[in-house]
Structure 1
Amino acid sequence: MPAYVPVPRQRDAETAAPGGGDLTLLVIEDDPAGTFTVPELLDAAGTRVRIRTARNLTEAERLLTDDVHCVLVDLGLRVTGDDALAPLRHVLRLAPKHAVLALAASGDAELAAEAVRVGAQDHLFREELDGRVLSRAIRYAVERKRADATQVKLAESRLRAQENARLERGLLPTPLLQGSDLRFASRYRPGRSRALLGGDFYDTVRTPDGTVHAMIGDVCGHGPDEAALGVELRIAWRALTFAGLCGDDLLSTLQQVLEHERESEEIFATLCTVDIAPDGRRAGLCLAGHPAPLIARAGSPARLLPYEDGGPALGLLPRARWPRRQVELGGAWSLLMYTDGLIEGRSAGPGSPRLGQDGMVRMVNEQLAAGQRGEELLESAVSRVRELNGGELTDDVAVLLLDRDRA
C-alpha cells in the first residue's frame, strides 16, 4: 500500500476554522510508513489542527474523546471479509456526532464515492493529500456535519410540533352543543416551561335528551405522558357520557381507565363534571378533588357552588364514591369551571399569598361589574391572574365558561 505523503506545517491563507476554534483530527490507519510526520497543522488564519493517530479500531475507540472534531478513516485498513467499508461503518456507528472523512487511493474512486453514500462527509485521495487539502477538508467536513445535525434537529422539532398540535387538538376539543341555547367559551394556557402540552383537559357535549354535560380536569404533572392521559380521560368521558353514564357511575369508570393507563400508581387526576338539565335551570355537580365551579346569576355577585360533598381525586382510593349534588341555576347565569392553575398564582407578585378561590371570586366580580362577559371575561381573567402573579404562571391554566341569558 503506498505511503502517505508527509504532511508539512502549513501557513497558507486558509479561512478560519468553524467557530474560530482549534480542531482535533483522529487518523485511523495501520501502515507505519503512512504516519503523519507532525502533531498539528497551523495555517495563516491561525487555525490549529491537532492530529492523533490510531493503528486499529480498538485504539481509535480509546482515542475518540469528546474533543475530537473529525475522524479520517483509511479505506485501505486490513479487514476480514469482503466489505472494504466495514471499518468506516464501524466508525460511523461509534462516532455518530463526529465528522468523518474517508481516505482512498485514486484508483479506488468508486469505493470513495460509496464511502460518502454510506455516511462519510467527504473523501480524499491519498495521492493528492497535502496539508492544505487536509485542513480545508476537515473544516468543510465539520461544517457539513454541523449543518446535517441542525437539519436533523429542525426535522425533529417539526415532527414534535406536529405531534404537539395533534395532541393539543385532543386536549382542546370542539364542543358539541348543537341545539342548545347555552354559549360556550374557553381558554387554555400551558405553564411557562412548556409549549403546547399540559395535564389539563376539558370537554362539553349535548346528549340527545337535551342535557348539556361539561367537565374539566387536571392530571398531576405537566409532561407529554400526563397530557396523553388527559386526552384518554377526555375521550373516555365523552364516550361514556353519550352512552348514558353520569355521576358516580361515570367517575368510577373513568377511575378504571386512569388506573389502567397511568404510568405509575402515584398518578392521579382531579375532575369536575356538571350536567345541565334541558330547561337550563338545574344541574347535577360532581367533584373529584377538583375546585368547585363559580356561578354568577343576573343581579347577584358570583359565588362558588357547594363543594362539601365532593369525593377524592381519581386514582387515590380504589373504592371511592362521588356523590352527585343537585344545584339550582336559575334563569340567567354564567358558570365558570377552571383548573387550579387559575387560583395557585400569587395575589401580589412573588412572595405574596396565593390568590386562592376567594381571591378569584373577588377578581371575577370586579370584571363582571365592569361589564365583561363571555370571551372577554375569560381573556381578562387569565391576563389578570398573570398580572397579579407578577409574571408567567408555572402551572397550566384551563378555564371553561357556559352562559345562559334567558330569563
Structure 2
Amino acid sequence: MAGPASGSGPVVLLVEDDDGDALLVTELLEDAAVVVELRRSRSVEEAVAELGRGDVDCLLVDLGLPDAVGLTAVERLRSQGATSPDPPALVVLTGHTGTDQGVRAVAAGADDYLVKGETDPSLLARSLRYALQRREAAAQQRALFRSEIRAEETSRLERALLPKPVVADEHVSVMVGYLPGRDGLLGGDFFDTVQRADGTILSVVGDVAGHGPDEAALGATLRTAWRTLVVTDTSPDDVLPLLERVLLTERAGPEIFVTLCQVVVAADRSWAEVYLAGHPAPLLLTGHVGDVACTVLEPTARGRALGIPVGGEWHAQRVELSGPFSVVLYTDGLVEAEVAPEAAGTPPSRGVPRLGVPGLLRVLREELEGEFPDIVSRVLRRVRELHGGPLSDDAALLMVGWTGRPDILGTRSSTLADSVEWAR
C-alpha cells in the first residue's frame, strides 16, 4: 500500500517542530500502511495558514511548540478549524507519560491523545481512524441538523400558504390541498377563504411565476395582503388593483407576475362572482351528493395577470346559483401534469400530453362517486398517480361550497401532501 506521503487518502497535518519526532511519526504511518497525505507545519502560525486552505482532515499536534504553551495550540487550532464548514479532527502528541495532560487536551477539544514514547504503528493508525470517523459522524450530524432546519423553515412557509379558513357559516364547506412539486422547492401557490361579517364569503387562489423560497415568500405576503384587504371590508372590485400594488412593491424583479382567481359568494348563497387575472377558470359543482353535475365555468370577463405592464382592469362575472354548490379553484400545476395519452383531457398538438382542464374535470367526476369529505386528497392523489409520481410543479386545490340544507353541515379539511407521507 502507498505510504503517508502518497498524495491520496485523508490529509493529515503534522504540527511538530522537532525533525526527529516528525520522522518518527512518518515511519510509524508507513509501518502501519496507513494511506494518507501527510503535511507538516513547524508552528501554530504555519498550521493556521495551512488550515486556511480548507482541505485538512486531521491535525496531529505536538504540545511543545515554539509559539504555544501547554494547551494553547489545541485551543487556537480548534478555534481556527471551527471556521471551516467541515472542521478537521485533532489528535494530540505529548511527551508526558502521565494521562493528565492528555485528558486536559481532550477536554480542550482534542479527539484523542497519544504519548510519543508509548505509540506504535497500530495505536497511531487506530487513533487516526477513530478521530476521522468521529469527524465524519459529526459532519453527518451537522448535515442532518441543517436538513431539519431547512425542513422546518419549509414547513413554516407551507403553513403560511395553507392558512386556516375564517368561515363562521357551518353550512359552508371549505376543503383545501397543497401538493409540492418533485424538486422539493416551494412554489408560489397560495389560497385563502374568509367570511365577512355580512355573511359574504371570499376565496382566492393565486400562483406566483417561478419556483423557490423567494416565490413562496412572495406568495405568503400576497395571501396575507389579500386577507387584510378582505377583513377590512375592501370592495371586491378594489382587491385585485390593491393587491397588484403590493406585488409591484414586494417582487424581486419586473419579470415576476401573478395569476389569480377570486370568488365572491353572496351572503344568501344565491350567486357568486368570479374575478380572473390570467388564471384558469374554476369548475362548478351543483346538486346534492350522489347527483352532482360538474362543469367548467366558461369565462366571459377574463383579465390580465397581476404585474403585467399592459392596460386592462378586472371585472366580475356573475353566476346565478340555486341549491347546493361547490366552486373548485386550482393552480395550473394540476392541469399541466404530464400523463399517458389515454388520460389526457384533449389530444396533444405536440410533445407530452398533459391532463388539461377536461382531464381534471373527468378525475373530479370519478372521485365524486366516493365520500365527499376527503375528495381534495383523492383528486390530488389521482392526478399524481396519472403523472406517475411527484408533479413537476406545485399544485393547489380549493373547494368552497354550500350544503343548501339546514340539516347538513359543511366539510372542513386541509391536505398538505408532504413527500414523506405521499411516498408510502
Number of corresponding residues: 385
1:140 to 130, 137, 156: 130
Q: Which residue of 1 aligns with 2:22?
A: 35
Give TM-score scaled by structure 1 length. 0.82
Q: Which region of structure 1 is more displaced relative to structure 2, 27-36 or 126-135?
A: 126-135
Letter in 2 for 1:353: P
Residue 302 of structure 1 aligns to a residue in which SS?
strand
Work out whether 1:90 is the aligned partner of 2:88. Answer: no
Q: Which residue of 1 aligns with 2:415?
A: none
2:266 to 262, 277, 286: 277
**Cα distance between partner residues in 2 of 1:220 and 1:76:** 62
Instruction: List alignment gaps of at least 5 residues for structure 2.
Output: 345-350, 406-424
Q: Which region of structure 1 is more displaced relative to structure 2, 215-224 or 110-119?
A: 110-119
Cα shift at 1:398: 1.0
Tell me, yes or no, if the aligned pair for 1:61 and 1:94 is still in contact at 8 Å: no
Tell me, yes or no, if the aligned pair for 1:268 and 1:316 is still in contact at 8 Å: yes
RMSD between aligned alpha carbons?
Answer: 3.4
Q: Which region of structure 1 is more displaced relative to structure 2, 152-161 or 288-297?
A: 152-161
Q: Which residue of 2 aligns with 1:341?
A: 333
Tell me, yes or no, if the aligned pair for 2:28 and 2:120 is still in contact at 8 Å: no
Q: Which residue of 2 aligns with 1:131?
A: 121
Tell me, yes or no, if the aligned pair for 1:204 and 1:213 is still in contact at 8 Å: yes
2:301 to 306, 309, 314: 309
**Cα distance between partner residues in 2 of 1:259 and 1:113:** 62
Tell me, yes or no, if the aligned pair for 1:285 and 1:324 is still in contact at 8 Å: yes
Work out whether 1:327 is the aligned partner of 2:319. Answer: yes
Q: Which region of structure 1 is more displaced relative to structure 2, 55-64 or 243-252?
A: 55-64
Identity among equivalent positions (%) equals: 39
Letter in 2 for 1:41: L
Cα deviation, 1:198-241, whole Å, max 9, x if unaligned, reads: 32111111110100111111122332222222222112111110
**Cα distance between partner residues in 2 of 1:404 and 1:342:** 24
Instruction: List alignment gaps of at least 5 residues for structure 1.
Output: 1-8, 11-20
Cα shift at 1:343: 0.3
Cα shift at 1:129: 3.5
Work out whether 1:154 is the aligned partner of 2:152. Answer: no
Q: Which region of structure 1 is more displaced relative to structure 2, 373-382 or 396-405?
A: 373-382
1:190 to 180, 183, 198: 180
2:67 to 79, 99, 106: 79
**Cα distance between partner residues in 1 of 2:321 and 2:31:** 82
Letter in 2 for 1:307: P
Cα shift at 1:24: 4.3
Tell me, yes or no, if the aligned pair for 1:70 and 1:101 is still in contact at 8 Å: yes
Work out whether 1:238 is the aligned partner of 2:227. Answer: yes
Residue 220 of structure 1 aligns to a residue in which SS?
strand
**Cα distance between partner residues in 2 of 1:95 and 1:373:** 52
Q: Which residue of 2 aligns with 1:176?
A: 166
Residue 187 of structure 1 aligns to a residue in which SS?
strand
**Cα distance between partner residues in 2 of 1:307 and 1:119:** 69
Structure of higher RCO (CA pairs closer than 8 Å, 6+ residues apart):
2
Cα deviation, 1:75-105, whole Å, max 9, x if unaligned, reads: 3333289955435533444684322223344
Q: Which residue of 2 aligns with 1:363?
A: 363
Letter in 1 for 2:360: M
Residue 106 of structure 1 aligns to a residue in which SS?
coil
Residue 375 of structure 1 aligns to a residue in which SS?
coil
Cα shift at 1:180: 4.5
Q: Which residue of 2 aligns with 1:286?
A: 275
Residue 170 of structure 1 aligns to a residue in which SS?
helix
Give TM-score scaled by structure 2 length. 0.79
Tell me, yes or no, if the aligned pair for 1:344 and 1:354 is still in contact at 8 Å: yes
Q: Which residue of 2 aligns with 1:380?
A: 378
Q: Which residue of 2 aligns with 1:396?
A: 394
The 3 A distance-change label for structure 1 pair 63 and 280 is closer
**Cα distance between partner residues in 1 of 2:27 and 2:36:** 8
Q: Which residue of 2 aligns with 1:257?
A: 246
